[in-house]
Chain A
Amino acid sequence: MSAAAPVVRLQNVGKAFASVIALDRFDFAVREREFVSLLGPSGCGKSTALRLIAGLAAPTRGAIEWRDGRKPERGALGFVFQEPTLMPWTTVSGNVQLPLKLSGIERAVAAERVGAALAGVGLAEFADAYPRELSGGMKMRVSIARALATTPQLLLMDEPFAALDEITRFRLANDLLRLWQELGKTVVFVTHSVFESVFLSNRIVVMTPRPGRVFAEIPIDAPYPREESFRTSPEYAAFCRRVSQALATAMAEDGA
């Protein structure tokens, strides 16, 4: 296998539900160690695409091809939902430990990994807190720590910051970029925010309204690490304009 081969490739994938076609002729490849965003209006099937990759749903047609020829084992994929999706009855560390417990990893090893994952998102001292004692941003950090606990290579994120306020969102975005670089993960990030996707990604896939198809792929060639100052740079503004125009054209083409 060459290193340039995509981690996973969706080929001509379609997904139909009872009454709607969510995805149609969707071609999309994820490359090793990239941060790619799926950008589109709500209902364009971008979340569906993510669920197909995760194996939470099966495509109606087309194929999902993994580099190794088979679906990754459990723990090799991390998934972060739009809501923090924490279990309220257990502590922060209990939540982060869940995937390790389910795969029967030894308690001592698990505790170490939980500690590392929590330290990574800056919540080490909240290990024994219950979710209801945390703010929205902190809950999302726990959710990210849980996704990282199994040290997955591929991290799938479904509009994880959509329910947060802008200031919290900026902070989490900064921390996510730092983690992505430090840990060398591959991230697929679903969002409907042009600004968020430009700040985070090195590639943006703009999707058409339902049924979702790839409309354009826009590389964001700004170097990492991207500091807070990148948000106010003319370069950032130019990328945002390009992506916004692409999104507007995608919306118009479908007559939506």
Chain B
Amino acid sequence: MSVEPPPPPEPNRRDTALRILLPIVVLALVVLAWELAVRLTNTPAYQVPGPGLVFSTLISDWPILGASLIATLTTTFEALGLAVLGGVALAIMFSQSRLVEYSLYPYAVILQVTPVVAIAPLLLIYLPQAAAVLACAWIVAFFPVLANTTLGLASVDRNLIDLFALFGASRGQVLLHLRLPAALPSMLTGIRIAGGLSLIGAVVAEIAAGSAGAGSGLAYRIAESGYRLMIPRMFAALLLLSLAGIAIFFLLSLLSHLVLRRWHESALSAER
């Protein structure tokens, strides 16, 4: 049979350039307008600092802010790591035993729907501060991993399941060679959502904790600067948080793309 592989899709370079360029142009315009507005109206820095001042504060306060950034990021990634471990492990248990799923799933949902801000103060009473912050971040992050992985493990091609049965595959083989790979795309979606949520969880918990210490994170800096009317530092810390969120999102998207690029439709359309 003479069959040629289809040609690789030609990426639309102009479209890609626009997608990167346009948000940058918008950013530049907003920053410019902000700076102008602050200068023209003579707004004092303790009300609204201009972007220039925020940036110079970011640099001058870097020893404090940088350490806080690392503290918050550490919490976020620890929580994300534990959320992935816990979520995937629980999802696998659910997929292997309906009894386990029936018994535990409602409580996973309850944990998810109870606002973490309301749980944080209690956790702070019972746990050391660092552990409480980590626990808060974990609580918000683990559910999307659990829910998406559970969905992925359950949505396997019926014919493939029949095929595995026909070949006499054991439960372990079905899990390892069929269910887990099939669940990978939704699992990665869950992890991507969890990345953003664990940052939010960490921030919420830091604000609820509200006490200073060597390991205090960015959210604590924001609260603290607020009390002291150090508005430029609040903005600088907020900027860092936002950048951290963006970085986490891109990192996890990249991970997802790298894992799926050879076979999954989502990665395929991203290439085009």
B181 contacts A56, C-beta separation under 8 Å: no
What 1/0 flags go to B1-35 for Cβ under 8 Å of A? 10101100000000000000000000000000000
Residues of A near B167 (CB, < 8 A) are: 74-75, 98-99, 102-103, 150
B interface residues, how many (CB within 8 angstroms): 26
A85 contacts B160, C-beta separation under 8 Å: yes
- Interface check A130, CB cutoff 8 A: yes
A55 to B162, CA, bound (A): 10
A132 to B8, CA, bound (A): 12
- Interface check B168, CB cutoff 8 A: yes
Residues of A near B268 (CB, < 8 A) are: 132
| A-B pairs with beta carbons under 8 Å apart, 21 shown | A56-B162, A56-B166, A74-B168, A75-B167, A77-B166, A79-B163, A79-B166, A83-B159, A85-B157, A87-B182, A89-B184, A90-B181, A90-B263, A98-B167, A101-B177, A123-B1, A130-B262, A130-B263, A132-B268, A138-B3, A150-B167
Known interface pairs A85-B160, A138-B3; A56-B165 also in contact (CB < 8 Å): yes
- Interface check B39, CB cutoff 8 A: no
B166 contacts A54, C-beta separation under 8 Å: yes
Residues of B near A79 (CB, < 8 A) are: 162-163, 166
- Interface check A122, CB cutoff 8 A: yes
Q: How far is the CB of A36 from chain B (nearest CB, A)?
A: 20
Q: How far is the CB of B178 from chain A (nearest CB, A)?
A: 7
Known interface pairs A54-B166, A103-B167; A122-B263 also in contact (CB < 8 Å): no
A171 contacts B5, C-beta separation under 8 Å: no
Give the size category of A's interface with B.
35 or more
Residue of A nearest to B268 (CB): A132
A150 to B163, CA, bound (A): 13
Q: A131-B263, A133-B5 are in contact. List 11 more A-B contacts (CB 8 A).
A: A85-B159, A90-B263, A102-B169, A102-B173, A103-B168, A122-B1, A129-B5, A130-B262, A132-B265, A132-B268, A134-B5
In B128-176, which residues have CB < 8 Å from any A CB?
157, 159-160, 162-169, 173
What 1/0 flags go to A128-148 for Cβ under 8 Å of B? 011111110110010000000
- Interface check B264, CB cutoff 8 A: yes
Residues of A near B181 (CB, < 8 A) are: 87, 89-90
- Interface check A126, CB cutoff 8 A: yes
Q: How far is the CB of A152 from chain B (nearest CB, A)?
A: 10
